[in-house]
Amino acid sequence: MRRLVALAFAAAVVSASGVAHGNGRFPSTTSISFPRGPTQDLYLGVTFGLLISKGDGGFRWLCEANIGYEGTWDPKYRIDAAGTIYASTYDGLRISRDGGCTFTTAPDLGALWIEGLDVAANGDVWVATAEGAAANNVYRSTDGGRTFTATDNSSLQIWWKSVLTAQTDPQRVYIAGYQVSMVGDDAGTPAPPVHLRRSDDGGATWIALPTDTITVGDSPELHVEAVSPTDPDVVFVRSARAQGADGDRVYRSADGGLTYTEVLSTTAAIRAVVARANGDVIVATLASGAFLSTDGGLTFNPLTAPPRAACLGDRGDALFSCGANWQPDLFALGRSADGAAWTKVFRFVEIAGPLQCAVGTIQHDVCEVSEWPRWQADFGIKPPIDAGVEPPTPTPGGCCSGGGALAGPALALGAVTAAVLLRRRRRKSCCE
């Protein structure tokens, strides 16, 4: 019954705003990624694909069909120093070597469900799988994703949820997974509900890390969220839904995962844990604010006016956060030096257009020709002045174009919708 009510409300909001396409979700930002190496480029995951800024401030759009997924999936993106884009999907690892015009599936991984993804400081690509119909494992590529080698973590009972490397030591790798089948060993010892492992030699050998001091929820799930950029032994682990129905717990280890101390609990799902080179650690949530530690993650205090942070990332020179495209943040992406004060980087009405690629590519034929005109109209984006055409008429009440007659009702109804939708996949509006 709750699901039917949620779907009914969602349909009403979509009808009122006119901006939700395809997967039915409102346009919002979901992730921020930075390439390895000295560049100002930004890769912004959104509920309708991917936006890329090549350092000039203009964001170009890639649609879901080009990347290789559909629905309410939010890929993890990683970009190496050469500009290769890696995207995790439920149907394999998708790779683009031409700036996003075309994507191919990593052949060694096939159609496996890719849950964890990281690119190490030395360029190694790491992938963790959570496939329901096959053995899962953690894979490593040393040739830019052209070939992958399995590590000694194969399991029919474990879904590997995250993989993360240390910036200062690319041989240091942390992985986390949860036990989907409680089959124990031959002695009848029950299997642990969650798993943490560490490698100090690039995946050649692995150490099973203790998890008995970590509180887990009814559906146990751990994620390796951050490793200190100055000390590979300092690692932060999130226990999902371990604090009430929606809240998470954060654990800190200073000895490479051998012991843990709980350092923070939240009432809403944590969207990011960012450890900075100056020792600050910031934890961001979408619904219950953000928290700052100035002592290396030992203690946290709430930030006074954080954005609605569906994502958070540190480029080194600045912090970047997702925000509500409308009220209260008035930015889809914001920037801050310290996490306290935020300035707008970008709003959806400022999208420069689709990434322009050759005829015959999905990016051109589907994204640019078929799908972009609707998004352009809904966001109220004006074409270039020299295009020789009149600007499109925004969809009445298009919430990203400046607020029409339906913006207020869509906001109110969106707030009700958010309360009843599935807790892990909220539908979001650019008018939030």
187/373 Cα distance (integer angstroms): 63
Tell me which residues of the chain have a pLDDT lower than 70. Answer: 1-23, 56-57, 182-189, 384-432
- Residue 2: enclosing H or E segment and its boundaries? helix 2-17
Q: Tell me how far CA of residue 309 lies from CA of 31, 173, 344, in angstroms.
A: 10, 27, 13
Q: What share of the chain is helix, strand, coil (3-state, %, to 5)?
A: 15, 35, 55
Domain assignment of residue 229, yes or no:
yes
- Residue 335: enclosing H or E segment and its boundaries? strand 333-336
Q: Are strands 125-129 and 92-96 parallel, antiparallel or unpaired?
A: unpaired
The total domain count for the chain is: 1
Going by C-alpha positions, the residue among 238, 117, 234 that lies closest to residue 167 is 234
45/347 Cα distance (integer angstroms): 13
Neighbour count for residue 257 (Cβ, 10 Å): 23
Neighbour count for residue 70 (Cβ, 10 Å): 14
Give me the DSSP letters along 294-329.
SSSSSS-EE-SS----S-EEE-SS-EEEE--SSTTT
198/202 Cα distance (integer angstroms): 10
- Supply the pLDDT for residue 386: 54
Domain assignment of residue 428, yes or no:
no
Domain assignment of residue 323, yes or no:
yes
Q: Are strands 169-179 and 194-199 parallel, antiparallel or unpaired?
A: antiparallel
Diameter of the chain measured on Cα atoms: 76
The domain in which residue 338 lies consists of 33-56+73-350
Domain assignment of residue 277, yes or no:
yes
Domain assignment of residue 267, yes or no:
yes
Give me the DSSP letters along 43-91.
EEEETTEEEEE-SSS-EEEE-HHHHT--TT----EEE-TT--EEEEEBT
Residues 6+ apart with CB under 8 A from 155: 135, 136, 137, 177
Going by C-alpha positions, the residue among 314, 305, 218 that lies closest to residue 273 is 314
Strand order in the sheet with 194-199: 158-166, 169-179, 194-199, 207-209
Neighbour count for residue 152 (Cβ, 10 Å): 12
- Supply the pLDDT for residue 98: 98
- Which amino acid would we find at residue 349? V
Six-digit token pair at 288? 């219950």
Neighbour count for residue 97 (Cβ, 10 Å): 17
Domain assignment of residue 283, yes or no:
yes
Domain CATH for 148? 2.130.10.10
What's the whole-model pTM score? 0.85
- Residue 376: enclosing H or E segment and its boundaries? helix 372-379
- Supply the pLDDT for residue 55: 77
